Amino acid sequence: MAVLNKIRQRSLILIIIIALALFAFVLDGVIKNIGSPSAKSQNTVGVINGKDITREDFLQKVEAAQRQAGPSATSNQVMNSIWEQEVRQAILETQFEKLGMTVEKDQMRDVLKTTLGSSPEFLNEAGLFDENKLNEYIANLKETSSEAYQSWINYEKTLALSALQQNYFNMVKAGLTGTLAEGELEHKLEGNKIDIKFVQVPYSSIPDSTVVVSKSEISDYIKKHEKQYEVEASTDIKYVEFKEEASVEDEKVIKDELQTLLKDRQEYNEGLKANENVIGFLKTTDNEDYINSHSDIKFDDRFVFKSALPSVAADSIFNLSEGQVYGPYKDNGYYKISKLIAVKQVSDSAKVRHILIPFVGATRVDPSVTKTDEQAKATADSIYNIIKSDRSKFVDLLDLSSDKVSNEEEGVIKFSYMDSFAPEFKDFSFNNKKGDLQVVKTSFGYHIIEILSQTEAKKAVQVGTIARKVEPSESTVDKVFRDASNFEIAIGNEDFETVATESKYVVRPVNGIKVLDENIPGIGSQRPIVRWAFGDEAKIGDVKRFNIPNGYAIVQLVAKHEKGLMSADEATPTVLPIIRNEKKAEIIRNRVKATNLEALASAEHTTVRTASAINMKSPTISGAGREPLVVGAAFGLKKDQTSKLIDGTFGVYMVQVTKVEPAVKLDSYQAAANRVEQQKVNVVSSNLYNALKEAADIEDNRAKTQVQ
């Protein structure tokens, strides 16, 4: 009780103490958050010209693009692609807003008419685009499927943006002209020509070893040419890879297992609690079931030509008799045994023509398609009946086909038996004869196919193959783990390179890794390594183990380079030759006393050379190379005048002009002015966006928001 009384007496003091503690806690949080990413920056992937790219919207677009790209693209590649797409859109929208450019309703209808003008769904009986059918289609989407309607809205936005971009680029091109003065200059740059005599004292005449360039000189050069040597933040690492690869013993076990599958054998049946006879691969008649039960690669029932067989065993397999087996042989990471199941004669290629009627949900179907499966089938049957009675109407009905590529060739497709075509399409084309006509359904829709011709049939084989992937055994995997662990422990006390050398491991250095890089040479896509190397926790010299496909990488962080100017060491390969040549030019100038070509040639143990028909448009000296400064100086001389020493790209020169041939005067320079204008227009498509991007204010937070 005494204690409670004391607490009550000092309650005010306690309240003050608690309040101060809470205040200190909050203040501590504020201080810690100073300089850290704000809530906005965490939810904003980037800001382009003041426009936020939100994390949620960005990731939704990435997810959609990833689904479309499938496994052919990595998540990092997709993210980078979407980022560039967002940057381009934001930069161009800035220009559209400044100019007040929009796509109005009438123009949008024209764009849709141009884009969808050949789609059968929107054509009337006369074969003309019918806007009412388009309106009906859009209204139907809005009523029946909010998801499909939203897809259509996005489709319209894409078309509108494309139209705005085209308008913008056309406006810029329209503002470009070539004046008569520019045309005259262009004509003179090409037409003014001179012949010269010259002496070149090449920089290579002075050994590099005699010219000393200090790091401070390289640093000074970098500071004078900052824009050329600005670099992003980067890191350097080195690593040792430990691969989980099958040993010689592992491969022998796999081959022995395959050999066992060839012959009949006895196996214990757990259900019967007794041994039973199992037919081997040689005698089995159900090849498909046997292969699917014992192989890592499922049975392929196709007939193939010799060229499609594994190159390491093609001759041996192709020359087998039916029922014979070849192997085991190693091919593309598998050990295999192959059995020749059947032989038949097949045409190498076929030429057909077709009309394609797609339906909603078909592969790569256009958003404008509205026919159901049943409706598409009915249309295809109707077309088939017309063509069956009169083959000459085939071409007239091509307007109904959605295959615009083959339509340009009157519906004709010529393809090889080995080409990747829809199976049903290929089966009909090769398993029937010339002149046959039929409606064939594939994942793309209903095809009305007519076989026009087939090449002469040749031998094709059906081969059944039992394949076993060459993989390391459990004991091999355990050994790799132990080796990696022992190395990781050893470098905790000793030098990375020393331990690797003693253990005969290969150390792979990787320099200049950027914050958004993905690939590490030698081990492929490794974002975890990149993120670790750029993390605040990782210090130079730190080592970490990473799981990589089929093994481990023990990685050491070697260096971290801040964003800014390139270091002297990094710039040395490019800057050193420049400064060295400048010093060589100075050495040559200091030792040359000659004032004419012959004296200079004699003093430098070289010859006086000639070059003719030199122009300013292409400042190249025959036998010396591209020398803009030297050619420019030569054009400043009068006939028979000799220059002083000129520092060129490949050496120091003295030049004498021997002939001056002015360009022919023209009555009009309009043609040349037109060429200048066309040259300006030609670079708009490639250079305009890049110029806008360079001038844009771009804040890239992808690394900070950890979307990559």
Residue bearing the bigger pLDDT, 464 or 161: 464
- For residues 174 and 170, give the distance between their C-alpha atoms in angstroms, rounded to a whole number: 6
Tokens, residue 197: 């005599």
Lowest mean pLDDT among 73-77, 92-96, 263-267, 701-705: 701-705
Question: Is the confidence at residue 270, as pLDDT, over 80?
Answer: no
Residue bearing the bigger pLDDT, 384 or 117: 384
Q: From the DSSP assignment, how many helices (H) and strands (E) are in the chain?
A: 25, 27
Q: pLDDT at position 41, please?
A: 57
706 pLDDT band (50/70/90 cuts)?
Answer: low
Task: Please say whether the beta carbons of 443 and 424 come within 8 A.
Answer: no
Question: Is the confidence at residue 634, as pLDDT, over 50?
Answer: yes
Q: What are phi and psi of 3, to 5 degrees?
A: -65, -45
CA distances from 465 to 257, 323, 339, 418 (A): 14, 12, 6, 19
What three-state secondary structure class fits 334?
A: strand
Task: Please say whether the beta carbons of 200 and 631 come within 8 A.
Answer: no
**For the chain, which residues make up each domain, given as ranges?**
2-36, 105-174, 193-227+568-661, 234-245+473-562, 248-346, 349-455
Tokens, residue 454: 């087939």
> Which distant-in-sequence residues (6+ apart) come within 8 Å of 347 by Cβ?
417, 430, 454, 455, 456, 457, 458
Lowest mean pLDDT among 121-125, 129-133, 374-378, 484-488: 121-125
CA distances from 607 to 146, 592, 623 (A): 82, 15, 12
**pLDDT of 392-426, one tens digit each?**
999 999 989 999 889 889 999 999 998 888 999 99
Task: Please say whether the beta carbons of 318 and 306 come within 8 A.
Answer: yes
Task: Please say whether the beta carbons of 54 and 44 come within 8 A.
Answer: yes
- For residues 46 and 48, give the distance between their C-alpha atoms in angstroms, rounded to a whole number: 7
Q: 355 pairs with which residues across the strands?
A: 448
Q: pLDDT at position 136, please?
A: 86
Whether the predicted model's global pTM rises above the 0.85 cut: no
Q: pLDDT at position 707, please?
A: 61
Can you give the three-state secondary structure of 452-508, one letter per residue?
Answer: EEECCEEEEEEEEEEEEECCCCHHHHHHHHHHHHHHHHHCCCCCHHHHHHHCCCCCE
**pLDDT of 141-171, one tens digit each?**
888 888 888 888 888 888 888 889 889 999 9
> Which distant-in-sequence residues (6+ apart) come within 8 Å of 51 by Cβ?
90, 93, 94
Long-range contacts of the stretch 678-684 (C-beta < 8 A, 24+) = 678/178, 679/178, 680/176, 680/177, 680/178, 681/173, 681/176, 684/169, 684/172, 684/173, 684/176
193-227+568-661 and 234-245+473-562 in the same fold: yes
User: Which CATH number is associated with domain 234-245+473-562?
Assistant: 3.10.50
573 pLDDT band (50/70/90 cuts)?
Answer: very high
User: Which CATH number is associated with domain 193-227+568-661?
Assistant: 3.10.50
Question: Is the confidence at residue 4, as pLDDT, over 60?
Answer: no
Q: pLDDT at position 143, please?
A: 86
Question: Is the confidence at residue 21, as pLDDT, over 60?
Answer: no
For domain 349-455, the CATH architecture is Roll (3.10)
305 pLDDT band (50/70/90 cuts)?
Answer: very high
